Structure 1
Amino acid sequence: MTVVAAALVDGEGRVLLQQRAPARSMAGLWEFPGGKVEPEETPEAALVRELEEELGIQVDPAELMPACFASAPMGARHMVLLLYICRDWRGQPRALDASALRWERTRDMPEIAMPPADAPLIGLLEALLGPPAGPRPPDQR
């Protein structure tokens, strides 16, 4: 099973997480928004569709930058999770298919309860995004 997800990055370098709804498996855990790739659908098309359905935002597929992936067993099936970075979208994200949304810095994500396939992506995502924006430390020369 192929699943796609987005690390939506705001102007402050924070990433959007959504909380899984109570009626879903792994309810209450925080995850990157996204979902399953349907037959005959490209991963990018699936992610554009999922972001519209889950958050009510529109994303140009050209704005999706492949970032990293995770592989995890899901009962009798196996899941490959493809994570994309997206810094530009239209609309304000809303929790249409989740209990809540929150913006977090990658350095704070290890303390957040996340599904087993999402958690290993945090360090890779942090390396790709680089250090958080802010004042630079003084030169040590």
Structure 2
Amino acid sequence: MSKIFTMCFIENNNHLLLQKSIKKPFEGLWNAPGGKVEVYESPMEACIREIQEETGLEINHPNFRGIITVTNVNKKSSDLLMLFHARDFSGDLRDSEEGEIAWIETENIYLYDNTPDSLTCLLPYILETESTITGKIIYSKKKMELFDVIL
């Protein structure tokens, strides 16, 4: 059975909020925060809740940016990833049990070797366009084999 996850790209003055994951499959990598949509919860509600739990921030009016199917060939499973973008937030930033949180200069993210390929592939679509996107990401043996997005 597929699961639904959220991912929120939170921007602030040419910086993006990233989280260093302590859990698989992205353990040790910096990625945009988010998490699983719970029963009786909309993706928007899940996004707002997950950001508050994982970062301490209250995001206001996150923009829905798209939906991606994420397939793991080895597990023969696909999940849905709901993408959001936010610039309006309040609160005090804090780390959580999910991992360390930091504001990273956006242009430097492309130079990091400790971010998932999927993050650097998604960034231009989220940060440089206003379009809603759809597409798919396919992983095999923990490696991204295909990234296909449509505006």
Larger radius of gyration: 1
Normalised to the residue count of structure 1, the TM-score between the two structures is 0.75
> For the structure 1 residues 66 and 127, does the alpha-carbon distance in structure 2 shift closer, same or farther, using more than 3 Å as the test?
same
1:116, distance to aligned residue in structure 2 (A): 4.8
1:73, distance to aligned residue in structure 2 (A): 1.3
Alignment match, 1:44:
44
Alignment match, 1:86:
86
Deviations 1:52-82 (A, max 9, x none): 211122234xx11112343221333212222
Q: Distance in 2 between matches of 1:106 and 1:58?
A: 21
Alignment match, 1:59:
59
Alignment match, 1:15:
16
Matches within 5 A, 1:1-141: 1-10=3-12, 12-21=13-22, 23-60=23-60, 63-74=61-72, 75-112=75-112, 113-128=114-129
1:126, distance to aligned residue in structure 2 (A): 3.1
Normalised to the residue count of structure 2, the TM-score between the two structures is 0.71
Q: 1:51 is paired with a residue of what secondary structure?
A: helix
1:14, distance to aligned residue in structure 2 (A): 1.2
> Which 10-residue stretch deviates more, 96-105 or 85-94?
96-105
Letter in structure 1 aligned against 2:4: T
Aligned-pair Cα RMSD in Å:
2.1
Q: Is the CA contact (8 Å cut-off) linking 2:37 and 2:43 kept in structure 1?
A: yes
Q: Is the CA contact (8 Å cut-off) linking 2:18 and 2:32 kept in structure 1?
A: yes
Deviations 1:18-46 (A, max 9, x none): 0001x543210111111011122100100
In structure 1, stretches of 5+ residues that fail to align are: 130-141
Q: Is the CA contact (8 Å cut-off) linking 1:5 and 1:33 kept in structure 2?
A: yes
Q: Distance in 2 between matches of 1:65 and 1:41?
A: 17
> For the structure 1 residues 73 and 117, does the alpha-carbon distance in structure 2 shift closer, same or farther, using more than 3 Å as the test?
farther
Number of aligned residue pairs: give it: 125
Q: 1:119 is paired with a residue of what secondary structure?
A: helix
Alignment match, 2:141:
none
Q: Is the CA contact (8 Å cut-off) linking 1:6 and 1:85 kept in structure 2?
A: yes
Q: Distance in 1 between matches of 2:108 and 2:126?
A: 12
Q: Distance in 2 between matches of 1:70 and 1:119?
A: 15
Q: 1:7 is paired with a residue of what secondary structure?
A: strand
